[in-house]
Amino acid sequence: MIALSRHSDHVGERFYYAAMTFVIAAAGFAIAAFSTSPVWIIIGFMVANVGVYGTQAVFWTIPQSYMSRQSAPGAIGLVSTIGSIGGATIPIVIGRAKDASGSFTIGFLVVTGVLLVAATLVLIARTQLVKE
């Protein structure tokens, strides 16, 4: 986290770093979803954790860096609320998918998809904020 955030500050590019860490987390969940070996599942979760915690180091600096002092708190609150809703619903989705299919694969693929959508949205936000 520290190395990633320092390099992001040095380069001055937070959006690409945030998107990259979302993709790393998605790759970890995909590894876990498609693996049958416990070793590879653990490796997948390790990769996912690198991405998830790396995202937190970079992602939360974006609103303060690119928004006015008046709009940043609202943006942070909105993103935090959406994240809390996701944090509450994703375990339910994974559990229901496990009950329906007997496997965690579908649930992990849902998480993978959500993370890839998040990476895409961060890159779209970058193009919108850079234009302004």
What is the average pLDDT across 112-119?
95
**What is the average pLDDT score of the chain?**
88
Q: Tens digit of pLDDT for each residue in 22-81?
A: 999 999 999 999 999 999 999 999 999 999 998 888 888 777 777 788 888 888 888 889
Domain boundaries defined on the chain:
2-131
In which residue are the tokens 């949205």 written? 121
Q: What is the pLDDT of residue 30?
A: 98
**Per-residue H/E/C for 94-109:** HHHHHHHHCCCHHHHH
Q: What is the reported pTM?
A: 0.85
Q: What is the pLDDT of residue 38?
A: 95
Give Cα 97 to chain centroid, integer Å: 21
Q: What is the pLDDT of residue 84?
A: 92
